[in-house]
Amino acid sequence: MVAGAQRRKLSLVLALVALLAFFWFSGLGKYLTLATLKANRDALASYYADHRLLMVASFMGVYILQTALSLPGAALMSLAAGAIFGAFMGTVFAVISATIGALLAFLATRYLLHDLVQRKFGDRLEGLNRELERRGLNYLLFLRLVPLFPFFLINLAAGLTKLPIRTFLVGTGLGIIPGGFVFCNAGASIVSVSTLSEVASPRVLGSFALLGIFALLPALYAKYRERGS
């Protein structure tokens, strides 16, 4: 039984490595650019008009895979969601896809890659792990709203903790809605977008920071009470 479980675990790890290698050596990354999206926006929208279900399933599948494998291009995928499906439905599809992908990365870290991630990022994640274990949902919401850490790194860090899966799902799903809407809304008028950085302007990031602080207040209050007692 143990040997069989180890073989299945090794097979899954090898499959993940193969997918990562395929992405990097196939040159697919060169197509994940704003210029490519703008050039093909009309063709994508036209295809969606004729094949709605297939387009939604394909888009969500790619987004889930991209997030699960911690590949670059999440912001561009959210812009694409808005450009193809509109601001509202684009946000729905992007948030669901990113949440599922994040959950897969979280589970892979917890059950497949725990030792590897611990060796590579352990020192950097120590404080983050401690707060996630103690503050749970509030701290995760703060991290999702305020881009202090890369999205993929939060998935890996949470997988190293004892954070419940339900808490991870809720915190991720709710925490990425504001950012998802901002990028999908910008994608709906993709012609006017020149760079990705102009979408996440200082004003937008400041608004996210305020939301993040608000989400963190219960945890800060609990910490204050702990020190006072």
User: Residue 118: what pLDDT?
Assistant: 66
Q: Which domain holds residue 74?
A: 2-23+32-228
**Higher per-residue pLDDT: 42 or 24:** 42
In contact, 141 and 212? CB cutoff 8 Å: yes
pTM, rounded to two decimals: 0.79
pLDDT tens digits for range 55-97: 999 999 989 988 998 888 888 999 999 999 999 999 999 999 9
- When divided into structural domains, the chain yields a total of 1
Distance CA 186, CA 181 (A): 8
pLDDT tens digits for range 152-208: 888 988 887 778 899 999 999 999 998 899 999 999 988 778 777 778 767 676 777
